[in-house]
Amino acid sequence: MEEKIEVHGPTKVSGVLPVSGAKNSVLKLMAATLLATGESTITNVPEIQDVTIMAELLRRLGCTVRYDPAQQTVDIDVPEVLGHQADYDLVRAMRASISVLGPLVARCHRAEVALPGGDAIGSRGLDMHRAGLEAMGAKLSIERGFLRASVADNLHGTTYHLDYPSVGATENLMMAAALADGTTVLENAAREPEIVDIGRMMQAMGAHIDGLGTSTITIEGAQKLHPVTHRTVPDRIVAGTWAFAAAVTGGRVEIEGAEPAHLTMVLEKLRGAGCTIDTSQGRFIVQGPERPTAINVSTLPYPGFPTDLQPFVVALNAVAEGSGMVTENVFEARWGFTAELERLGARVRLDGHHARVDGFPRNSSPEHRSRPRTSEREPRWPSWAWRPRGSQRSPGSSISTADTNTSWIACRMPGPRFSGASWAACSREKTELRGVPERGYAPLTGWRVTPFMAVAAHRG
């Protein structure tokens, strides 16, 4: 049965919200356990579909995996002899599966990984993964949809300059270098907190890594690593999602378990939008303004503004005072959601990597909010556009209004989308967001909402 969330506006998002481990980290931590024989335990694991997929992938490689969503733990027992092929049916469902490439080449001296699928929100090739491993002595080729890698003996250390600070390439090369002969230096490496998290787990496993959190990472290869227990870093994107929920709707949220230092740029922009933010005493409180001020944002690799939070800026600007310019520098195709916001009345003008958003009050009249699109501007929302973190793909989207005499609008979306929900939460209409996953609900003053949808807390 299809799940849905109904948002009756005007609504303010308010409540105390826990943040679990980062999806962008836990999947790579699971892959990193392949570097050591024995049982490793990862804690603070989010309850998302991607963890289930990665667990199955590791099982097919020969590992014993026990995933306990209730306890937020995953135990991975890695055998002495590993399989070396990552099957297409799993890799196509989750792009992060490519992160097993580096550990498999390091441990097995060969790997066959299906070319990844996942959320195709732009061009994310594997050129740097391939070039970095080749610089370490591996031979790579693409055959029948698989990336095949092999090395006669151990990988060897090298100095490799990444053309772009790719998170995935930095992770793969860092893991491969941990068991290579000699010293590997990664220049222009990614600096994300998730990179630091993986590096710290590898250090606990016995890896020699310097420069985590900087653009130059040095890895001294080790003969052998050992299993560990490691706690996943908090999910800064989920924390940022809730922060924007308060900003857009004028609510107040207290976010537990987040690390404000990972959101320095985001919090700076939210303060510029008029939010009051308190990060003292280990807590993270965001009070949204009566009406936000439009902000200008350009997405960049960390420590810049994260691309994953870009759609929320558009939603905020849509109800803000003034106009804001949003520039997407990371994933050029991350604009699919704007078509649905326009259906709800948002004023968004796209020009390549840029979007100008003209705001108007949250409580504007319904006749201006539910304007129909003309036939030549029918949905341009592909199945991959802005899905919830950790969800599977769903087929396209559609939208319909009840009739011209009513003031509600129903959206059929490929999974829940914060942008549409945040807009709905501050409108006068009833908005239905369909395609919501059943799992992962969090308490919010009497409502049940998914942790990746900042939608409805209480009626205000």
Walk me through the domains of the chain, giving residue ranges and CATH numbers. 4-19+234-459 (3.65.10.10), 23-220 (3.65.10.10)
* Cα(315)–Cα(212) distance, integer angstroms: 34
Token output for 313: 């800026």
pLDDT on residue 408: 31
Give just the sign of the alpha carbon dihedral 49, 91, 33, 19: negative
Do residues 285 and 255 lie in contact, with contact meaning Cβ atoms separated by under 8 Å? yes
Residue 443's SS3 state is strand
- The percent of residues in the chain predicted with pLDDT above 70, rounded, is 76
What are the DSSP E strand ranges found in 221-322?
229-231, 252-256, 276-278, 284-287, 297-298
- The percent of residues in the chain predicted with pLDDT above 90, rounded, is 65
Bridge partners of 285? 254, 278
* pLDDT of 367 above 90: no
Bridge partners of 321? 293
pLDDT on residue 124: 53
Helix axes 127-135, 167-177, angle to 10 degrees: 20
Give tens-digit pLDDT for 288-299.
Answer: 999 999 999 999
* pLDDT of 448 above 50: no
Give tens-digit pLDDT for 160-172.
Answer: 999 999 999 999 9
Catalytic residue among 119, 197, 235, 308: 119
Active site residue 119: yes
Token output for 323: 């106009």
Give tens-digit pLDDT for 32-88.
Answer: 999 999 999 999 999 999 999 999 999 999 999 999 999 999 999 999 999 999 888
pLDDT on residue 364: 55
* Cα(315)–Cα(337) distance, integer angstroms: 10
* Cα(5)–Cα(21) distance, integer angstroms: 24
* pLDDT of 377 above 50: no
**Taking the C-alpha atoms of 49, 55, 59 and 63 in order, what is their torsion angle to the nearest 10 degrees?**
180
Average pLDDT over residues 215-226: 97
* pLDDT of 445 above 70: no
Mean pLDDT across the chain, nearest whole number?
A: 81
Position 362 confidence tier, pLDDT thresholds 50, 70, 90: low
Average pLDDT over residues 315-337: 93
Do residues 219 and 176 lie in contact, with contact meaning Cβ atoms separated by under 8 Å? no
- Measured CA to CA in angstroms, residue 155 lies from 78, 160, 202 at distances of 21, 14, 17
* pLDDT of 392 above 50: no
Token output for 49: 């579909």
pLDDT on residue 198: 98
CA 420 to chain CA centroid, nearest Å: 18
* pLDDT of 432 above 80: no
pLDDT on residue 313: 98
Position 126 confidence tier, pLDDT thresholds 50, 70, 90: confident
Question: Which of these ranges, 157-166, 206-215, 416-425, has the smallest mean pLDDT?
Answer: 416-425
Strand order of the β-sheet with 64-68 is 64-68, 73-78, 38-43, 229-231
pLDDT on residue 143: 87
Does the pTM of the predicted model rise above 0.75? yes
* pLDDT of 254 above 80: yes
Position 117 confidence tier, pLDDT thresholds 50, 70, 90: low
Question: Which of these ranges, 56-65, 351-360, 372-381, has the smallest mean pLDDT?
Answer: 372-381
**Taking the C-alpha atoms of 134, 140, 141 and 144 in order, what is their torsion angle to the nearest 10 degrees?**
-140
Average pLDDT over residues 396-401: 32
Residue 236's SS3 state is helix
* Cα(22)–Cα(10) distance, integer angstroms: 31
* pLDDT of 123 above 70: no
* pLDDT of 151 above 50: yes
pLDDT on residue 1: 56
Give tens-digit pLDDT for 174-187.
Answer: 999 999 999 999 99
Average pLDDT over residues 274-286: 89
Q: Return the closest-CA partner of residue 190 out of 220, 161, 157, 214.
A: 214
pLDDT on residue 129: 94
pLDDT on residue 411: 34
Average pLDDT over residues 219-236: 97
